[in-house]
Structure 1
Amino acid sequence: MSKPEPWQLSKASYPFSNVTQTRFGDMDLLGHINNVAMADLFENGRVRFNRSMGMENRAEGDRWLIAAVQINYLREAHFPDDAEICSGIGRIGNSSWDILSAAFQNDQCVATCTTTLVLTNPQGAKVIDADFRAVLEAQMVKRD
């Protein structure tokens, strides 16, 4: 795990956020949110972020696949505190992009997540067109 950049630890760096309740069943034997539950919280935040960009409205046959997910745990997260998942676009390639997310509890960053998605159609990887690229570019993280 690499040390996060200071901007990654600030909610203001991310254009989108969503608050989700943690659940009693998310805890492990040590009393903190387990790694599978944290991945689930990031997934929920990512889906809500995608929906906020209208990504459920895609061309017929188009879909995006998750190519990689990396989660870095920075401190323990606890039930019953809500988790705020903040997200933004970190990189846009030819047919792929990265969603960068951070989970916060009580205004402290507890974990970061990078998810790489690939745009595909029945023929394979598809080049991101100008309209979709503009949607992604409008949601870039602020790295100051």
Structure 2
Amino acid sequence: MSPSLTTQAFSCVLPLRWSDQDLNGHVNNARIVTLMEEARVAWLNRTAVKEGVASFTNPKVIASLTVEYRRPVHYADELIMDLRISRIGTRSFTITYHASQRGDTAFTGSTVVVPLNPATSASRDLLPDEVDYLSRYLSTDEPTRTTTETR
């Protein structure tokens, strides 16, 4: 495995609701995608803005989304989600997700995020401060938790 470019990752504890479960007694697979969204919003729309990157509150779209389910997610256990950046392009970036319960990987995933011009709804170039912020989380390995937010 190649060395990590950074060890920084955004980490948050996501609350699970009783209603997230399906008839099998675990969190429904569709709800997993919503949990990824909640973590992404907590990171970009709150934490990044607090750190001075207000443009992340502007519209964004998800161009691609993948999820690999490793084990069931259960309501009773704390769900920790680590987010990092695996790619920064001119008009998009890729977030990778690693979710765990009791230290075991529950699922991994990724999203390609495309920022939009709020006036035209067209894709736009990433701004220099966005690239600088995202670069702090750029990694090729599993993240090490450094920033934690409890939702």
With normalisation by structure 2, the TM-score equals 0.78
> In the alignment, residue 48 of structure 2 is paired with which amino acid?
M
Look up the match of 1:110.
106
Whether the 8 Å contact between 2:48 and 2:56 is mirrored in structure 1 is: no
Give aligned pairs, total: 134
Measure how far apart 1:118 and its partner are.
0.7
Gaps of 5+ in 1: none
Q: Distance in 2 between matches of 1:107 and 1:90?
A: 22
Q: Distance in 2 between matches of 1:129 and 1:46?
A: 18
Measure how far apart 1:133 and its partner are.
0.8
Measure how far apart 1:28 and its partner are.
1.1
Look up the match of 2:79.
83
Look up the match of 1:57.
54
Look up the match of 1:24.
18
Gaps of 5+ in 2: 143-151
Q: Distance in 2 between matches of 1:24 and 1:84?
A: 17
Whether the 8 Å contact between 1:63 and 1:119 is mirrored in structure 2 is: yes
Q: Which has the higher contact order (CA 8 A, sep 6+)?
A: 2
Q: Distance in 2 between matches of 1:14 and 1:41?
A: 21
With normalisation by structure 1, the TM-score equals 0.81
Q: Distance in 1 between matches of 2:32 and 2:139?
A: 21
Q: Distance in 1 between matches of 2:43 and 2:56?
A: 19
RMSD: 2.6
Q: Distance in 2 between matches of 1:124 and 1:41?
A: 26
Q: Distance in 2 between matches of 1:103 and 1:59?
A: 23
Look up the match of 1:101.
97
Q: Which runs of 4+ in 1 moved over 2 A?
A: none
25-34 or 14-23: bigger deviation: 14-23
1:69 aligns with 2:65: yes
Q: Distance in 2 between matches of 1:104 and 1:28?
A: 19
